[in-house]
Chains A and B, each alone.
Chain A
């Protein structure tokens, strides 16, 4: 796995546990990742947590459930 991929895994672990944690982009290291949640309409206790760098556009997403996250940011 590339270094960016390894860094993304660590970023994902931190952001999955707490959406409000401030994490620098693992690709460009020039900006803090933006994080927001989008619930699945059919089952709102399930959602995706999106992570994107406002500087370079790097992006990944998490498939989440109601636990253990405590800091969802709902943009629905």
Chain B
């Protein structure tokens, strides 16, 4: 279900305040010089760790996935797949931040099948929806 319009988020209508904060953080990430460093690491095939606004992000060339949460660090890992396109990079950052900031499982809640499925759908759905609304080029 789509979240209702929230008048408290005029900068990002159509999302919750928590989601608006994620979108703002990804917008800052994409404009940061550290993101250039991660692209350099991708081209060179080497691992690199940066902090953007205090958030740890690691590029790991040996990770066969787009992204991976690091709950203990409050950060995430990017794999080569994430850097194959601007769209996939943005969606991965949105996805990982959604996980890190909203997951009940990551906060220690008992894992149940329904909760796991709901969080997976929410993370993918938010990343796609936010990308199309606030980062897409068309």
Chain A interface (Cβ < 8 Å from any Cβ of B): 1-2, 4-5, 8-9, 12-13, 16-17, 27, 36, 38-43, 46-50, 52, 57-65, 68-69, 75-76
Grouping DSSP codes into helix (H, G, I), strand (E, B) and loop, the A interface class, with mixed when no group exceeds half, is mixed
Residues A9 and B120 in contact, CB atoms below 8 Å apart? no
Residue contacts A-B, CB under 8 angstroms, 25 given: A2-B72, A4-B72, A5-B70, A8-B70, A9-B63, A9-B70, A12-B77, A36-B116, A40-B120, A42-B125, A42-B128, A50-B105, A52-B105, A58-B72, A59-B105, A60-B70, A61-B69, A61-B99, A62-B65, A62-B68, A63-B68, A63-B92, A63-B96, A69-B64, A75-B113
Q: Mark B70-104 against chain A: 1 for CB-CB distance below 8 A, else 0.
A: 11110101010100000000001001100100000
Residues A47 and B65 in contact, CB atoms below 8 Å apart? no
Within 8 Å CB of B60, what residues of A? 9, 13
Number of contacts between A and B (CB, 8 Å)? Answer: 96
